[in-house]
Structure 1
Amino acid sequence: MAADRLILVQKSLIRGQWDSQISEPTNPAFELAKAVVECRYNDALRSDTAREVFRPSSEDLDLPFNKILDLSIKQGSEAAEEELGRLVLAIACLHAFVQANWTGPDLDIEPLELFKDGTEKSKSWTGEAIHVKAVAELAYGGEPAYHLAKVPAFLRLAQLLFALPYTHLESATWWRLRVATVHQEILDDPVSLQDDFRTLLQPLASTFATEPDLAGRLNIEIGLLEHVLSRDKAAGENFVKASRCTGLEYELTGALGKRTKFQQFELSQLVLLAESHLQDPSDDVTSQKENTPSTTVEEVSDTKNVPETIALNDDTLLEQTEFTSSNPAGAGSRLAHIDPSAQPPLHPLDQCILLSLCLNVRNTQPSHGLTAEQMSPYVSRVISHPRNWSVHTMALLLRSRLESSRTRTVERSTLQLQALIDQMPTADSSTSERLLYFHDIPLPSRWDMEKELAERFLSLGVVKSALEIFERLEMWEDVVKCYGALEKPEKGIAIVKDLLEGRKAEVDTVISRAKSTSAPHKKSQDAMRDAKLWCLLGDLDPTHAEEHYKRAWTLSNETSGRAMRSLGGYYFARAKFPEAIECLKRAVKINPLLTRSWFILGCACMRVENWEDAKNAFTRCVSIDEEDGESWNNLASMYLRIGISKQGRKAIGEAEGEDDGPSSSEVDVKTSDELSSTSVPFENKMLAFRALKQGLRYSYENWRMWYNYMIVAMDVGELQEACRALGRVVDQTEGKLASAMDEDVLDRLVDAVTRATSDPTEAAADESGAAQNPNEGHGLYRSVLGLLERTLLPRISSPRVFRAYARLLSWRGQWEDALKAYLDAYRAGVAGTMEKGETDVERWREGVTEVGEIVDILRNFGPRVEGYKWRLQARSVVRTFMGRTKDFEDETEWVSLTELQDELRKEED
């Protein structure tokens, strides 16, 4: 088999389009490949090659599929052809599964037909037995596969075939990536993969990725898998890399336009300008028509078989923004020639990239209105030129999600989602068109779309319609939620119990299938489903929750991550931390991708003072979800606790947990003096500082984290950051929370400024660089001055704050302002706020001390202010204080006040 032809065939299989350069197929493997590219799965899976590969070697259906079937590749002169045959059958199985569960139309072949070879070995097999077996084998990482997925045996067979060693076919790794992504979609929760596809796919760079469309596809598909595994940053990088590979140019900008029917003045509207550089010869005719400015979306839809676009039909909003500016791009932009109201059509692969980028905007931005505004231009740019059935379906689905929260668009949102679900079984477009870009978009499965519709009904208050869908899909957790919304929680519990005890039948299809199910397979089927139901019952019945979770663990043969997560949370809520740690360690070993499990494990380890394990748990949290501010905060806490004495452990706060899990809202870090007194290594303090700095990027409004950051910054010498943090704390608490204002930190900041020389010239001549250092002297002065004048003084009337301000002013030689600040401090202190009738002797004695201090300050600074009558001010202070506190004349300190008054009178004379 010629190597060049083999590469062309592999590229055709990846693209889903047969390359015209390949001569007419001359061997069975090539004929099979062409049939699969043309989506003739019936022909491929009923071929002689398929019958030979899928011929069962054992009649014992209790054995795994890889023992029942002999899938090995015979090595020899025709090994390449053997490998291609296996790969093509694997692709046929994978795409048959995708057609049945994602794209439609309905499949015309069943898995049972693959094994019926007319011998006794497979005669007793049933479709239901194969279905149950496949679902059981597709469970992975403690997460069960969705049991109502159609023809799951095809996906399992595809997995086994792709796992074979392919020495002549480089594209096999790419197909393993594709089957892994599809497999993740049918699991309850995503599970980490053993294979690092980014590394494994590197060799393809020279063979496949040199062509722009293949390079783009490869990066998109790696990014989509990263997205499924919640690695949003890596996903975004791959989507951007894909746009560079295909040459897609895009720019989010503004252009004048109207959004409503009665708008009289044009306003700036967000618009995405985009232009493709990929060629798609098959769409030349349509492209010419689409490129005509007068062509509407409806006209283009008629030329392409795409899903129905539901009209908005609103009395105020326009169907789409009417742009009046023909040149919105900025100066020097490569897209300045594009008119936003008549943009050229995009290649479908570039449309996939835009939808993926749009998806990444949603994942990397906070959940607020701006995100929807950012996403809308991406979606609108794709919807404006329908090019492919699946891509257009994805664009309409994203628009439906964006419109679900707006009053004027929520009706269209729900109707559009319903229309997308209804059109899946239809034959309004060819199977090949539907599958052409399937692997390059995050298209949800049928059951996921129906679940989304049910959730949409639930948000609109149409609970019964949602309940019907959830019951049909056998999503019992959501069924229970619906009964909770209907204020019938007891009915939800009764349903789960009836299912477990066999008193309630499930959907009609399951009942009909069960009639032909053998006892062992029924037992296996029930065990997988029962484990989930026992966990759900434990959630609903807290009194016997522990018993229910343990029952689920046993039923699953100790493979249910859900059971261990639930049991660990149960123990944590009841302060049984050692038991919680044991369960949660099992849970994260089964499925290490779930951040919540690692977080609660970390908090449980904190409670038993196992700082090292807690640190490792929170490290895993932030490696999975970089935006988890709580975990960054607790990770910093662990760095500060490792290696310190018991007396110092309470110097660092931690996130205290409530019954439903920990929360950083209760973080409490003590003063910087307490922190400094502990034996924390400086390296750990720096690690804590960096962790808090990273966490604050995602918890910017959490004043407690800012407080922690301030204390640690003070301790590692990052005083400018400590100054900024103190300002944020006061801003967020509006100065109303006394515990949030750390006056010790403020005094240390002022000390750091005033211990340097006040003369800027002398400071500049100092070789130590103190004048430029942002953490001392003149380098810190502006930050501390701004903190006092703009943040603290307008909000806080504290004697220590006024005195700190006065010290800063006196350091700069601003004597009059410093005197005013000292007097403000006196008026806000004990002496300045004492009233007649005071009976607290200790408080009065404190006031006597303050009177002496302010008089000394007036004596020292008063003469430096020209024309300032400081003696008169001093006498007034003493006289006023003595007049308010005559009740203390018998105290010994009264004599000192009298003597002070006499001294001031003599000095004036």
Structure 2
Amino acid sequence: MTTRQSQVALICLKKEFLSGAPEERPIKLLINGQYAKLTGTELRQIFHDHSILELCEVEHLGQEQLRNVVDQIADKIISVSEELSYFSAILLLQIFVQTNFTGPRLPRVDELGFLVRLTSSTPAVLSLLSLSGQRPSKLVDWPLLLILSLRLFEKLQRCPISLVGENQSLEPEAAISQSNIPEFTEDNYVQAALCWWRARALQVQQSLFHDANPVLSTLTFSLLCPSLVAALMDNTDVNTAPNQYTLVLYHLERARAALGAGSETQASESLARAKSASGLQFVLTGCKAKRTRFQEKAFAALAVLARSQDTLLRVGSESRHNPQEVALNDDLFLERLRFENLGDDQALEELGDGKRVKIDFPNYESAEDQEAKLLPIAVKEDDIPAPLRSLDPNSQPALADLDSVQLLLRLETIRANTPANNALVGEELRALVERVLFSPPGSVNWLVFSNALWQRSLLETSRPKTVERGVLQLYSLVEELGVHAEQTARLFPKSKEEEQFPQMFAASDLRDDTTLINAVRSQYVYALPLSPKWSLDSRLAEKLLELGSVKSALEIYERLQLWTDAALCYGSMGNESKAEELVLRQLAESPDDARAVCVLGDVRQDPALWEKAWQLGRYANAKRSLAKYCYRRPDGSRDCRAAIGHQYDCVRANPLNFENWYFYGCLGLETEDYELAAEAFTRCVALDDSSQYAWSNLASALLRLDKLKEAFTALQRAVSSGDTEKASWKIWENYLIVAVKLGRWDEVLLASRTLLDTRKLDGDGSLDIPILEKLAGLLVAEPYDADARQTHFQRTCVKFLCQEVPAVVNYSARVWRIVAKVDLWRKKPWLALEDYEKAYRAAISRPELEADQDAWREAVAACEDLVSAYENFGELPGKHGAGDVVCKDWRFKARSTVRSLLSKGKVWEDTAEYVRLQELRDETKNK
């Protein structure tokens, strides 16, 4: 095996890539999870080095002393061999991940050498993992393993500064510039692998924090640059399984890192590239399905059809180590839905009441763009891709493990970018996760299967009918996978290898074909969302809070000693004194915990505490709280300039947070700093291009900067993003105004129709009548030809002006005159006459007619128009075309109209309009 293949094997942790050559035995042992046996290789001189063993007495050392000890151990390991130190850094990370994430618990055996002495978890040790004022959980096991791994990676990469235990106020940009990231070429694949593993270690550190850390997120994306994976590819034969596997894994890990940073747009882009590289084919379609054994009629349901490429299937995990499905054998409910009638478009309508919530970022239209969607949809059977049309939804083939991971990451991305508790989105996500769970028995990797179970349980809690079952499932999974997993094993029974795990560690010889259960568990740990064991308890508590079970959530937080989270619970209940007590308890244990200081500032509304949290570690939330405090002070005053200054610090400290940039942009709009607002909202839409209000606010800022075309483009994105049917009427109103200025009359018509539909209750307030008059003028400017085919604008405009507008606004004389103008253009004088009659009735029905002279003038004008219409249209051919006329007795009606208005307007006898009516009465007598 070549060195490049070895690096790929280490990156992918796939034993299938190894040739079994003797010199690769350490790599094989690491991949198999046989860590103790590694001490029988070249690493023994490191594991049992007496000088290192002497340094590992760290129980009572302070932070500075610990940092010096970590540096000394790292230097000694590197002095033995740089290659072995690289391997040691990976080994330390893997053991840490097994201990804290995947299990089983690592036994203390002598073969592990100095590692056994690095189990201390004192506050001083945990402080070395703190960054930007964020501290890891005190439940972390063997934190020094991760600390030493991170330090080794830094030294091997020759970083001039360290993130371990120092530079707590480092900005993300500075972290990148000081990380010595090389330009990756085909020759430096070792450095590429080193950077990939360092990115993994940083993401493991990130998962120990409560909030996303901008330094770690930004640095991870810089390390996982496109040239990195290119350097690891074997260019002598591009189309190989290792190349494909490495490329797919790279994109999936980038997507997971983007999700951890809260950047769903970048996650979506990486997932699209992963799909292209893997060859995964999948589609969501509607169907009918039965849920119970005795159900006769099938009801609407959704199904995901998916098929993996054969090359990825060949490198799947071994089924003998995967969890087997346990049948429920229920007398009523089926084990799984029994599908029929694939491609049923009525199923989608029944599930979503005909109004599908948009779940993808852009508005894709073409077939090519459809492939880039997070969840491609086939409305009808003909829309299902040919390779998937033959699949039986009740018995689909096994998926490659990486494709199952990809589906789960797509689920996370969709959920992060859609409204909570939407019924149809919930059905879509459930179909995704069931495609993973209902693969052939034993075909799904242990970690992937357990993650899918967790996701399904969370989805169950969002439905009223299944919320109780979902919560109970979450409790069961917490017992199986969380901090108490060592005492319980019902859903995931131990294999024979795992039952004998301690003995296998101590065994003197080890067969090369043995794969330990922990190797299978950790195989895809870096591609899936990283969840330490105790975080499952914490996530359960968050779900209980959402469901209103505050007491149960408090019990979990207090058991985990998460005093800050418990304080937030008490604060939500209005018990601020208890909240303050718990925060102070947390600060007594960790005085430099910036999050706890910030929460204490939130409880007390004390700016000094927020400033302290910022000084402790550039904690972005502290500056956000300061900005909001300055924006709305307790005395009711505002200091927007100070708020902008604080929010600027916040977005610099955490540049990947959408909400922070949004508030920053709003401050810019309020202070009329439109350059600032445009920049902020540009960053918003770059992070999440489905936010209607971000696009709309960006357009407002651009309008103020006289960038009309750019503003209109932003408004187009605003009205087509997110749930288009719920777009604010204010956004459509701005869209209308800008479209008028640009002369985009088709868009003006679209905006006018949408405003009329969304603001029906506002009556004529939903219309801009001068714009209606302009649209009518554009329409009648072209000659009407009944035999010619009308343009789309003409058809739509006629329907809008003659049907939709009158249905909403029937009490405005001005509107009826516009309708009459269009009806006359359509050569329908009988309709035009009816319109003038309705205009007259609307004018004389105004209650202020006898008190408001303007209303009186409008009534007289409407009367003149109607009399003129009687005279001009009365003798024209009628609508039946059988010798009839529009209005046979038009003279009588004209005289009656004038006399009626004269009678109503006696209070206006001294006005010129009344005199004009008298003259009109005399004129009608002579006709």
Which position in structure 1 is the counterpart of 2:64?
62
Is 1:199 matched up with 2:226? yes
Is the CA contact 2:656–2:687 (under 8 Å) kept in the aligned structure 1? Answer: yes
Pick which of 707-716 and 322-331 moved more.
322-331
- 1:122-521 superposed matches below 5 A: 127-128=121-122, 131-136=125-130, 139-140=131-132, 143-163=134-154, 164-165=156-157, 167=188, 169=190, 170-190=192-212, 191=214, 192-194=217-219, 195=222, 197-204=224-231, 206-207=233-234, 210-211=240-241, 212-267=244-299, 269-276=301-308, 277-278=310-311, 286=319, 304=321, 306=323, 311=328, 317-323=333-339, 333-367=386-420, 368-384=422-438, 385-386=441-442, 387-424=444-481, 425-426=485-486, 428=494, 430-484=517-571, 488-500=575-587, 502=588
Residues 8 and 19 of structure 1 are in contact (CA less than 8 Å); yes or no, is this contact kept in structure 2?
Answer: no
Separation (CA, whole Å) in 2 of partners of 1:393 and 1:193: 29
Q: Tell me how far 1:15 sits from its aligned partner.
A: 3.1
**2:897 partner amino acid:** V
Q: Is the 8 A contact 1:636 1:691 kept in 2?
A: no
* Aligned counterparts, 1:108-127, within 5 A: 108=107, 127=121
SS of 1:201's partner is helix
Alpha carbons of structure 1 residues 257 and 168: separation in structure 2 relative to 1, 3 Å: closer
Asked whether the 8 Å contact 2:286–2:342 carries over to 1, the reply is no
Secondary structure of the equivalent of 1:252? strand
The answer on whether the counterparts of 1:707 and 1:729 sit within 8 Å (CA) in structure 2 is yes
Counterpart Cα distance in 1 of 2:591 and 2:114? 25
SS in 2 for 1:438: coil
Counterpart of 1:11 in structure 2 is: 8
How far apart, in 2, do the equivalents of 1:808 and 1:891 lie? 33
Letter in 2 for 1:740: S
Amino acid at match of 2:807: P
Q: Which amino acid aligns with 2:832?
A: A
In 2, the alpha carbon distance for the partners of 1:780 and 1:795 equals 21
The residue aligned with 2:840 is 826
Q: Tell me the CA shift for residue 11 of structure 1.
A: 2.7
RMSD: 3.8
**How far off is 1:109 after superposition?**
5.7
CA contact (8 A) 1:131 1:151 kept: no
SS in 2 for 1:323: strand
> What residue in structure 1 maps to residue 591 of structure 2?
526
Deviations 1:85-120 (A, max 9, x none): 222212112222211221112234699x987999xx
Secondary structure in 2 matching 1:253: strand
Q: 1:686 to 1:706 in 2, by over 3 A?
A: closer
Aligned twin of 2:171 = none
Q: Name the counterpart of 2:84.
A: 85
Q: How many angstroms does 1:719 deviate by?
A: 1.4
SS of 1:95 mapped into structure 2: helix
Check the 8 A contact 1:256/1:266 in 2, yes or no. yes
* One-letter identity of the residue aligned with 2:151: L
Tell me the CA shift for residue 852 of structure 1. Answer: 2.6
Greater relative CO (CA pairs within 8 A, separation 6+) = 2
Q: Which moved more, 1:239-248 or 1:382-391?
A: 239-248
Q: Compute the displacement of 1:285 (Å).
A: 8.8
**TM-score normalised over the length of structure 1:** 0.78
Q: Where does residue 295 of structure 1 map in the other structure?
A: none
Shift of 1:205: 6.2
Letter in 2 for 1:252: L
The letter for the 2-side match of 1:566 is S
Unpaired runs of at least 5, structure 2? 158-181, 183-187, 345-380, 499-516, 879-884
Per-residue deviation, 1:317: 4.3
Q: Is the 8 A contact 1:258 1:322 kept in 2?
A: yes
Structure 1 residues 312 and 171: alpha-carbon distance in aligned structure 2, compared to 1, 3 A threshold? farther
Say whether the 8 Å CA contact 2:702–2:708 is kept in structure 1.
no
Change in Cα spacing, 1:685 to 1:364, as seen in structure 2 (3 Å) is: closer
Find the partner of 1:803 among 796, 803, 817.
817
Structure-2 change in CA distance of 1:67 and 1:475 (3 Å)? closer
User: Is 2:71–2:151's contact at 8 Å kept on the other side of the alignment?
Assistant: no
Q: Which runs of 5+ in 1 are unaligned?
A: 287-302, 507-524, 643-679, 765-770, 773-777
Q: Measure, in 2, the Cα distance between the counterparts of 1:162 and 1:759.
A: 78
| Structure 1 residues 311 and 177: CA distance shift in structure 2, 3 A | farther
Change (3 A) 1:822 1:143: farther
Provide the C-alpha distance between the structure 2 equivalents of 1:116 and 1:249, rounded to a whole number of angstroms.
Answer: 45
CA change 1:36–1:815 in 2 (3 A) is same
Where 1:407 maps in the other structure, the secondary structure is: coil
CA contact (8 A) 2:74 2:148 kept: no
How far apart, in 2, do the equivalents of 1:129 and 1:475 lie?
A: 14
Q: State the distance in 2 between where 1:784 and 1:327 align.
A: 36
Shift of 1:723: 1.2
CA distances 1:443-472 after superposition (whole Å, capped 9, x unpaired): 522232111211233344443221111123
Structure-2 change in CA distance of 1:698 and 1:581 (3 Å): farther
Instruction: Confirm or deny that 1:746 pairs with 2:772.
Output: yes
What secondary structure is seen at the aligned counterpart in 1 of 2:305? strand
Which of 22, 35, 38 pairs up with 1:41?
35
Q: d(CA) in 2 for partners of 1:114 and 1:635?
A: 59
TM-aligned CA distance change 1:745 to 1:84, over 3 Å: farther
Corresponding position of 2:165: none
- Cα distance in 1 for partners of 2:702, 2:341 equals 56
* 3-state SS of paired residue (1:736): helix
Alpha-carbon distance in 1 for matches of 2:399, 2:721: 39
Q: Which residue of 2 aligns with 1:562?
A: 621
* Alignment check: 8 A CA contact 1:135 1:146 kept: no
Number of the residue aligned with 1:665: none
Going from structure 1 to structure 2, the CA distance change for 1:373 and 1:97 (only over 3 Å counts) comes to: same
Cα shift at 1:279: 6.2
